[in-house]
Amino acid sequence: MRHYIGTKTVKAEPAINDDTMADGYRVLYPDGYESWSPKDVFEEAYIALPRDPQQLKRQYPVLGNYFEFSHLPPYLQDVSKHFWYLAWIMVSNDPDNPAEVAAGLRKLLEAKDCFVRAAIK
């Protein structure tokens, strides 16, 4: 069998399964599908995104703008958005050394640009 890695953004909240009384999450998918997932399975598969999507642009206004992807065609958005999410997460960890974070963001931006250019049809 082949190995697969899934990447999707979902909305979720802690919930108890009514049948088993087990801890888990109520999960809402982008297409409107809703399901329940056991706590350990969900937390192994998903990383919680920071609550404030503007934090990247607020703390690093110049660099943060370069991670925007809504202006790209959908097939390039699919490549670029993962870099935006990663930058957002790294800034949201509130690191103590902003100079190193800025250096890391510049390198991440360089990688993003390379992967987006590689995906151009």
Helix residue ranges per DSSP H, 1-121: 39-45, 55-59, 61-66, 74-92, 98-119
Determine the pLDDT at residue 114. 97
Instruction: Find the mean pLDDT for residues 24-53.
Output: 88
* Average pLDDT value over all residues in the chain: 89
Which is more confident, 58 or 113? 113
Helix axes 74-92, 98-119, angle to 10 degrees: 170
CB-side neighbour CA atoms (13 Å) of 82:
12
Which is more confident, 39 or 94? 39
Which is more confident, 54 or 119? 119
Determine the pLDDT at residue 7. 72
pLDDT digits (tens, 9 = 90+) for 52-101: 777 888 888 889 899 999 899 999 999 999 999 899 888 877 778 889 99
Determine the pLDDT at residue 92. 79
Structure token digits, residue 101: 């974070």
